[in-house]
Structure 1
Amino acid sequence: MTILNCTAVTCVYNKDRLCSRGEIQVTGSDARIADETCCGSFRDRNEGSAVNSIKDSCGCEKINIDCKARECTYNEHCRCTASAIDINGENASAQSETKCSTFACKC
């Protein structure tokens, strides 16, 4: 499992910069830079539909990460092998406004 620090505080799953979802997906299958990745699991807190179902969940420091960024150094069979990652997106209102800042292209 990977240690996750998430600044996407507008995400419904974000609990004190931790993730209450249990696992996330990093997308950007053709990414060559971090800005071409995003958290595919991001859901805007203001949408409200998922809020009630997880409001009592606690954040996890370590989670599984399904990584679709094929060119990332840490991607091994679609699993993130980094010991820790940062998901950025402080003012995000959509998945495309987040990114995996730990992404490192093996290209």
Structure 2
Amino acid sequence: MTILTCSATTCVYNENQLCSRGEIEVTGEQAHKPDETSCGSFRDRNAGSAMNITHEHCGCEKIQIDCKAHECTYNEHCKCTAAAIDIDGPHANISSETKCGTFSCKY
């Protein structure tokens, strides 16, 4: 499991810069830099559809991360192997306004 900190405080799953979802997906199949990645699990807490999302636990420091950023150094069989990552997006309203700040291209 990876230690995750998240600055996407507008996300319905963000609890004190931790994630209450239990697992997330980092997208960016063709990414070669962090700005080409995003948190595919992001849901805007102010969006109408987000109001139907419920979670019963507090934010987790360690979390399972499915990673679709195939060119990332830390991607091993679509799982993140980094000891810790940062999801950036303090003003995000949609998933594409977030990014994996820890992304590091293999090449």
Same structural fold, with TM-score higher than 0.5 when normalized by the shorter chain: yes
- Which residue in 1 is equivalent to 2:87? 87
Q: CA deviation at 1:46?
A: 0.4
The unaligned stretches of length 5 or more in structure 1 are: none
Q: CA deviation at 1:53?
A: 4.2
TM-score between both structures, scaled by the size of structure 2: 0.95
Stretches (4+) displaced over 6 A? none
Q: CA deviation at 1:56?
A: 3.9
RMSD of the alignment, in Å?
Answer: 1.2
Q: Once structures 1 and 2 are overlaid, which stretch shifts more, 60-69 or 48-57?
A: 48-57
Q: Give the length in aligned residue pairs.
A: 107
TM-score between both structures, scaled by the size of structure 1: 0.95
* Matches of 1:46 and 1:53, distance apart in 2: 11
The unaligned stretches of length 5 or more in structure 2 are: none
Q: CA deviation at 1:47?
A: 1.1
* Matches of 2:48 and 2:83, distance apart in 1: 32
> For the structure 1 residues 77 and 58, does the alpha-carbon distance in structure 2 shift closer, same or farther, using more than 3 Å as the test?
same
What are the residue-to-residue correspondences of 1:1-107 with 2, within 5 Å? 1-51=1-51, 53-54=53-54, 56-107=56-107
Find the residue that maps to 2:49 and give its secondary structure. coil
Q: Once structures 1 and 2 are overlaid, which stretch shifts more, 43-52 or 94-103?
A: 43-52
What is the one-letter code of the residue matched to 1:103? F
Find the residue that maps to 2:35 and give its secondary structure. helix
Find the residue that maps to 1:50 and give its secondary structure. helix
* Matches of 1:95 and 1:36, distance apart in 2: 11
Q: CA deviation at 1:55?
A: 5.1
Same amino acid, percent of matched pairs: 69
Q: Once structures 1 and 2 are overlaid, which stretch shifts more, 77-86 or 47-56?
A: 47-56
